Amino acid sequence: MKKFIFLLFLVGCGYSHSEDLTPITYEPLYISLWHDGIPLFVSSDASDPTIVVTATKWWNDQTGLELFNSGTSNKVYIVKDSSKVAEDKEGISEFISENGNLICKIFVTSYRIGLIKHELGHCLGFQHSSNSDNIMLPEAPDYGTISQQMILDLQTDFK
């Protein structure tokens, strides 16, 4: 069977010296991506999967939703591959369509907890935030939080 893969969009993340932050004026913009519901199955090549488990559990605990579980066809792949990430970034998320299914693919330079939480946020549909303590800051801080508006956005879309 012929396999069609196309790139929907890319988001580069992590520490950057070339990128200026926009003023702190907005909440992360949420895009509804998953037509058959948000829950996402995450698979990863992590040699120590506890970071990925910690990050998915964090999203679930913070939102009170079961966003990440195994009983779904919506998929997230996390791969450590620095060659896919720009030199001044730590991670990148891309959405591809594979045999009609939307897949979120994450490439990282390391399994840093803030970075994994942040990239999972992109897979859920969040863009970058400029709010000082938000997990969706481009720097993907380990201490980053989820705002009430983000929880409301997810609750609205959660199935």
Task: Give the footprint of Zn ion on residues 102-141 (CB under 5 A).
Answer: none
In the complex, least distance from residue 8 CB atom to Zn ion, rounded to whole angstroms:
15
* Stretch touching Zn ion by CB under 5 A, among 5-13, 27-35, 57-65, 97-105: 5-13
Biggest distance spanned by C-alpha atoms of the chain: 48
Question: Which residue number places its CB atom closest to Zn ion?
Answer: 13
Question: Min. distance of Cβ 81 from Zn ion in angstroms?
Answer: 16
Q: Is 13 in the site for Zn ion (CB under 5 A)?
A: yes
CB closer to Zn ion out of 69 and 132:
132
Of 127, 48, 37, 111, which is closest to residue 75 (Cα–Cα)? Answer: 37
If the CB atoms of residues 11 and 85 are measured against Zn ion, the closer one turns out to be 11
**Interface positions with Zn ion (CB under 5 A):** 11, 13
